[in-house]
Amino acid sequence: METPPPAATPLSKMQRNLSGTPGGPKAREEKIRVTVRMRPLNRKEQAMYDLIAWDCLDEHTIVFKNPNQERPAIPYTFDKVFAPACSTQKVYEEGAKDVALSALSGINATIFAYGQTNSGKTFTMRGVTESAIKDIYEYIKNTPERDFILRISALEIYNETVIDLLKRESGPLRLLDDPEKGTIVEKLNEEVAKDGQHLRHLIGICEAQRQVGETALNDKSSRSHQIIRLTVESSLRESSGHVKSYIASLNFVDLAGSERISQTNTCGARMKEGSHINRSLLTLASVIRKLSGGKRGHIPYRDSKLTRILQSSLGGNARTAIICTISPSLSHVEQTRNTLAFANSAKEVINTARVNMVVSNKTLVRQLQKEIARLEGELRSPDLSSNSCLRSLLVEKELKIQQMERDMENLRRQRDLAQSQLDLERRSNKVPKGSNDYGPSSQVVRCLSFPEEKESAKGKRTPERRETVGRQAMLKSLLASPDPSILVGEIRKLENRQLQLCEDANRALEVLHKDFATHKLGDQETAETMSKVLSEIKDLLAASYTPEEIVTADKADLVEKITQLKNQGNTIASLERKLENVQKSIDKLVSAFSSDETPENKTRLRKKKILPFALSNSPHMQHIIRAPCSPLSSTRKTMEHEIENRAPENNIGVTISDTFSKLHKDTSRKHDESCDSILSREGSPATRQSKSVSVKKIQKMFKNAAEENIRSFRVYVTELKELVAKLHYQKQLLVCQVLELEANKSMNEENDTPDRSPLPWHILFEQQRKQIIMLWHLCHISLVHRTQFYLLLGGDPSDQIYMEVELRRLTWLEQHLAELGNASPALLGDEPASSVSASIRALRQEREYLAKKVNTKLTAEEREVLYAKWEVPPVGKQRRLQLVNKLWTDPYNMQHVQESAEIVAKLIDFRVSDENGREMIELNFSSPFNKKSWAGWNFISNLLNL
């Protein structure tokens, strides 16, 4: 690419190339070019015998002529100083030409004139624009290998209103912020210039349209800031085989002049114009001052339309030249000093000019092909020093591939083993010939098997975790095994755990119930709910208790077992519903407590204060104080005893009881201490006043303790719910396995063909999707990820690979989290494993984030419909968060899932687009609305080495 002819003057004092993208445009830092032009004394000034107050010492320096000669004046230096005799052509050549012609090589450029009114800005800018147009067309003529398109637009800023100078009838125009282009003027008319003459004609129109008025200083004073913008687009002709196209804007800015009302003798409209002009010039000066100070704090670009529009030219990516025009006269010396001070600041401002290159797709492909060829060449090259990094990467990848091959081999061996076991079984059961040659369904094994890489972590296992790991190893071998009797045994164990869980829940509820009954907490309805739930759980316990052991696993047994399991699923679901009810009751209680500060309550409290003795002497006092402090006093011992005697294999039960007991202990300790101190104070001789205060404190403490109990129970109920969900999921997987084996068996009996036909895709898709949804829930996966995945993958055959990958990742992750300390936060004790807690935290943050979006993304009407549908109370705090907290919480309910996904999609502006959606799922695990990745899912991707 040829560059425009260089300017005759040297470039600004400081220039530095910045490295750009390889093969891409370079960025260059350079200071704004600042020149000063002094006009001759005009007729009026001459007539008044005004004196010339400034001396141009040389081409770069100007100094105030000091008539007193007491102190030498400080000279000002600039890129150029043009004395009154200098022609405008010289000013252009040496002050603006190279900046103007940058636009031809794709760099945005701005030339503007700054100075007091009547100092010669318009006079100078007209000449500069004319010369630049001449040069541009000259350049176009001398560059036949390129095609050029020139477009022109023009605006004025008059009294802070933007007007289109080519289409005045459009009225005031708005400024918009574009993330790529910066500030743009909405609906600004743009005309293509056919040639130089046409362009000059259009500029003539703009000038004629501009606001001009008469002041004492200037007959034709510009009352607005004018910006003429030429957009130059150029590309090499097809035949040349070159690749680049450029696009750049060249702005000619003629500012209105700063003025002193005393000197311009303005009033009325002129005065108003003057104040607008001065205000925007003040903002321009303050932007320049801040930029020149090198401080990158707040730059007040937005304080005026002028600075907003010129933002990219002031410390941005354009090349900029400022011509400061001054009057030589002594009567304007203060104004000239201001202009020179502005010029002094402006010369320190640094821009980072960039080439705006437009590359066509065809060109891009060609460039990429070249880049690939170059990289391939580097790889082949024996010179290790130049590409050692690439080589080591290659070696690393190769090692990974080898490891994966070994893993595959291992899996193949496992499959063969399973197959031979199945053969053995078939032979022993005398299965007819031609039966299924395969082991357990590949998709079930795939869902339930574990990657080999976990082997490496085995050495680090602690004795406490040995049992969990042992169980998982057992489960692993079990899943590879086709023997249904083992599966049934495993299911039996799950049932036992479920039973224990029910017992735990029952005990907790009893305690809660007692507390509520004893201290009359909550309303009648809550008390009824509690006793109802209690009796239902008792029924549940009785119903699920099946004493006899299943030892055989023949077909009849299996069918019966599966039916039983399905029923169990229902009971689990009903247990969940009941827990949900308990949760609701607790929520009600909490809200009742939090609204305790009602005026009525306050009055009640006041009344109580009047009768302190009656209350403190009450026989229930001790009980009232102690009860909230030790909610489990009646049942705690029994529970502890039971926990101690429980079989060690029941780790889930132990952990839950531990948590529960711990919760209780913490509460108990804290409040026992406070209560003791209060009681001792009660016993000491005290005034009526102090007793009244104590009672108030006791009441407050009682309330706090009760609230804490309720909170503890709420946590506990949540934990129970999670555990139930987890057990249910494990059971589902096992049921799946059993069903699969069963189906295989019956198929083998009926069918003599050796080939096993796979499940139709739509059925398999539904199954996999359900599993994925459950795993998302268990692993606390980001709601945005769930939504995108759910909405993007609708069951198309091409979705298969994404489903499999997701399922595999999540299965592995779930197991990994379980190994770390179980996926449920309830089971983690005081210090949850960082991965789990990070995921939960991230999910909570994500919900908070989404809640903030509710008001902006949904109309008031839509919100109200949703609040009603999702049972968010009409009055209450944080309704948005309440709504979002209900989304994606029920992995069993497909309608809930669908509706949750739709709401989240709306909140994040997500629309299903086939073009890049899948890549997003495949490659992007960070939240699209936040560049900071989610701790939870990001951690997951780290775990998976993605």
Ligand X SMILES: Nc1ncnc2c1ncn2[C@@H]1O[C@H](COP(=O)(O)OP(=O)(O)OP(=O)(O)O)[C@@H](O)[C@H]1O
Residue 509 and residue 582 in contact, taking contact as beta carbons nearer than 8 Å? yes
Binding segment (CB under 6 A) for ligand X, from list 34-42, 242-250, 749-757, 875-883: 34-42
Amino acid at 466: R
Listed in sequence order, the residues at least 6 apart from 321 whose beta carbon sits closer than 8 Å to its beta carbon are: 32, 33, 34, 35, 95, 96, 99, 100, 109, 110, 111, 112
Q: How far is the CB of 192 from ligand X (least distance, A)?
A: 29
- The answer to the question of whether 77 is labelled as a binding residue is no
State which residue, 123 or 929, has the beta carbon closest to ligand X.
123
Which residue in the set 35, 122, 655, 835 belongs to the binding site for ligand X (CB under 6 A)? 122
Whole-angstrom distance, CA of residue 802 vs CA of residue 768: 11
- The answer to the question of whether 120 is labelled as a binding residue is yes
Kindly give the interhelix angle for 761-779 and 688-750, rounded to the nearest 10 degrees. Answer: 160
Binding segment (CB under 6 A) for ligand X, from list 168-176, 215-223, 714-722, 847-855: 215-223
Which residue in the set 95, 106, 115, 631 belongs to the binding site for ligand X (CB under 6 A)? 115
Q: How far is the CB of 156 from ligand X (least distance, A)?
A: 12
129 contacts ligand X (rule: CB under 6 A)? no
Whole-angstrom distance, CA of residue 210 vs CA of residue 200: 15
Site for ligand X in 216-235 (CB under 6 A): 218, 220-222
Binding segment (CB under 6 A) for ligand X, from list 38-46, 638-646, 732-740, 883-891: 38-46
Q: How far is the CB of 265 from ligand X (least distance, A)?
A: 13
Adjacent-strand bridge partners of 169? none
Residue 823 and residue 726 in contact, taking contact as beta carbons nearer than 8 Å? yes
For 610, the 3-state DSSP assignment is helix
Which residue in the set 117, 235, 266, 529 belongs to the binding site for ligand X (CB under 6 A)? 117
Which residue in the set 12, 35, 105, 119 belongs to the binding site for ligand X (CB under 6 A)? 119
How many C-beta neighbours within 10 Å does residue 79 have? 23
- The answer to the question of whether 115 is labelled as a binding residue is yes
- The answer to the question of whether 402 is labelled as a binding residue is no
Which residue in the set 106, 120, 522, 653 belongs to the binding site for ligand X (CB under 6 A)? 120
Which tokens sit at 198? 């046409």
State which residue, 225 or 354, has the beta carbon closest to ligand X.
225
435 contacts ligand X (rule: CB under 6 A)? no
Residue 358 DSSP symbol: E
121 contacts ligand X (rule: CB under 6 A)? yes
- The answer to the question of whether 117 is labelled as a binding residue is yes
Whole-angstrom distance, CA of residue 787 vs CA of residue 774: 14
State which residue, 121 or 578, has the beta carbon closest to ligand X.
121
Contact letters for ligand X, residues 780-819 (x by CB under 6 A): ----------------------------------------
State which residue, 281 or 905, has the beta carbon closest to ligand X.
281
Listed in sequence order, the residues at least 6 apart from 381 whose beta carbon sits closer than 8 Å to its beta carbon are: 387
State which residue, 117 or 927, has the beta carbon closest to ligand X.
117
Residue 72 DSSP symbol: P
State which residue, 62 or 652, has the beta carbon closest to ligand X.
62
Binding segment (CB under 6 A) for ligand X, from list 116-124, 336-344, 454-462, 934-942: 116-124
Number of residues that bind ligand X (CB under 6 A): 18
Residue 597 DSSP symbol: G
Amino acid at 234: S
Q: How far is the CB of 41 from ligand X (least distance, A)?
A: 10
Which residue in the set 35, 108, 110, 118 belongs to the binding site for ligand X (CB under 6 A)? 118
Which residue in the set 1, 5, 11, 42 belongs to the binding site for ligand X (CB under 6 A)? 42
How many degrees, rounded to 5, is the angle at CA 588 between CA 582 and CA 591? Answer: 140
Site for ligand X in 240-259 (CB under 6 A): 256-257
Largest CA distance in the chain: 128
Whole-angstrom distance, CA of residue 825 vs CA of residue 836: 7
Q: How far is the CB of 329 from ligand X (least distance, A)?
A: 12
State which residue, 225 or 886, has the beta carbon closest to ligand X.
225
Q: Based on the number of CB atoms within 10 Å of its own CB, is 845 exposed (0-12), middle (13-18) or buried (19 or more)?
A: middle
- Of 409, 407, 377, the C-alpha closest to 390 is 377
127 contacts ligand X (rule: CB under 6 A)? no
- The answer to the question of whether 278 is labelled as a binding residue is no
Q: How far is the CB of 204 from ligand X (least distance, A)?
A: 16
How many C-beta neighbours within 10 Å does residue 666 have? 13
Q: How far is the CB of 290 from ligand X (least distance, A)?
A: 25
Residue 32 and residue 347 in contact, taking contact as beta carbons nearer than 8 Å? yes
Listed in sequence order, the residues at least 6 apart from 362 whose beta carbon sits closer than 8 Å to its beta carbon are: none
For 287, the 3-state DSSP assignment is helix
- The answer to the question of whether 9 is labelled as a binding residue is no
Contact letters for ligand X, residues 322-341 (x by CB under 6 A): ---x----------------
State which residue, 206 or 698, has the beta carbon closest to ligand X.
206
- Of 787, 752, 755, 740, the C-alpha closest to 912 is 787
Amino acid at 173: L
In this structure, the strands spanning 319-326 and 33-38 are: parallel
- The answer to the question of whether 264 is labelled as a binding residue is no
Binding segment (CB under 6 A) for ligand X, from list 35-43, 673-681, 806-814, 934-942: 35-43
Which residue in the set 31, 39, 225, 721 belongs to the binding site for ligand X (CB under 6 A)? 39
Please count the residues of the chain: 946
Residue 835 and residue 939 in contact, taking contact as beta carbons nearer than 8 Å? yes
Rounded to a whole number of angstroms, the distance between the first and last alpha carbons of the chain is 42
Binding residues for ATP, by number, are: 115-122
- Positions in the binding site for ligand X (CB under 6 A): 39-40, 42, 115, 117-123, 218, 220-222, 256-257, 325
Binding residues: 115-122
